[in-house]
Amino acid sequence: MSNQSRDAEYTMGRSESETERLIEQSQLYDGVTRRFFLRSGIANGMKVLDVGSGAGDVALTLAEFVGPKGNVVGVDVNPDILKTAQDRVDAVGFTNVEFISGDIRTLDLPNDFDAVVGRLVLMYMADPADALRYLATRLRPGGIVAFQEVDFTPYTAALHPDTPLANQLIEWGRTVFERSGAHLEMGMDLYKAFVDAGLPEPTLHFEAPMGGHEDWPGYEYLANSFRSLVPLMEAYGIATADELDVDTLAGRIQAEVSASKRPIMLPPHITGYASLAS
């Protein structure tokens, strides 16, 4: 993990279709996140800080875990997406979830949280260890630090169909994230970030959804991910919208998987958690 002088440009952009993609992504990784919360000890009655709430999916799941006696504070630097998050929380009638707009590293937050949680957010920060160091100061003694982050390293090395379109997409995807300044190996680097932040060594797990059957929603999700990436890919001169042809992309990936009989894996997520000393 390289600590950088500046944050990554938000690689996926800020469009309405990107908000929809985040919700789609959350459905595909829902099991990963729920198992992670169970293992890390997020429980009934807790007060939890959700870092980089996006469209509110993590906060919604946390609200289920902490129940009506607990509460969730979600923070995002993008005030527009928090409107969607708030609407979704209101639609299911949770009254114990609050969203605050701002940069998590500079907001003046209470210091009595039972847990601080984040999914796919440290990867956009210039210095993830520095962010964790600050976030740990927002916890009560014995509080939990729990982060779920993507990792493109093992993905690229082995675990994909090794077919022409999949190989091209992985290369384009990696390049655009790299150019934007995002940490491509944030999952594997969670261990280092925790230790450099002075936190206990985290307990880690690795998981990724895979698909092969015709109606797997992951094909559409992959295509929509590239839909969000098109503006930066064009700006960086990596590929054009015509080359990507996102409207036909899901079908083309599915056809390649069917023909090769090799399932495709979505980017793996690594989860890491640790508890502070009591």
Ligand X SMILES: C[S@@+](CC[C@H](N)C(=O)[O-])C[C@H]1O[C@@H](n2cnc3c(N)ncnc32)[C@H](O)[C@@H]1O
Binding residues (CB under 6 A) for ligand X: these are 10, 22, 26, 52-54, 57-58, 75-78, 81, 103-105, 119-121, 124-125
Q: Cβ of residue 262: shortest distance to ligand X, in angstroms?
A: 28
Q: Cβ of residue 161: shortest distance to ligand X, in angstroms?
A: 25
Of 3 and 168, nearer to ligand X (C-beta) is 3
Of 78 and 96, nearer to ligand X (C-beta) is 78
CA atoms within 13 A on the CB side of 244: 25
Of 2 and 106, nearer to ligand X (C-beta) is 106
Q: Cβ of residue 187: shortest distance to ligand X, in angstroms?
A: 13
Nearest to 108 by CA among 49, 56, 47, 62: 49
Q: Cβ of residue 183: shortest distance to ligand X, in angstroms?
A: 12
Q: Cβ of residue 177: shortest distance to ligand X, in angstroms?
A: 11
Of 33 and 254, nearer to ligand X (C-beta) is 33
Q: Decide if 273 contacts 145 (C-beta within 8 A).
A: yes
Q: Decide if 228 contacts 32 (C-beta within 8 A).
A: no
Nearest to 58 by CA among 15, 118, 139: 118
Q: Cβ of residue 159: shortest distance to ligand X, in angstroms?
A: 21
Handedness of CA 192, 50, 66, 63 (dihedral sign): negative
Q: Cβ of residue 240: shortest distance to ligand X, in angstroms?
A: 24
User: Residue 180: in which H helix or E strand, if any?
Assistant: helix 164-180
Of 118 and 161, nearer to ligand X (C-beta) is 118
Of 78 and 260, nearer to ligand X (C-beta) is 78
Of 76 and 114, nearer to ligand X (C-beta) is 76
Structure tokens at 17: 């279709």
Q: What is the DSSP letter of 124?
A: G
Of 196 and 263, nearer to ligand X (C-beta) is 196
Q: Cβ of residue 74: shortest distance to ligand X, in angstroms?
A: 9
Q: Which residues contact 216 (CB under 8 A, 6 or more apart)?
A: 254
Provide the β-strand partners of residue 270.
149, 206
CA-based max dimension of the chain:
56
Neighbours of 5 (CB within 10 A): 7
Query: Hey, what's the torsion of the CAs at 16, 20, 118, 41, to 10 degrees?
Result: 150
Provide the β-strand partners of residue 50.
74, 117
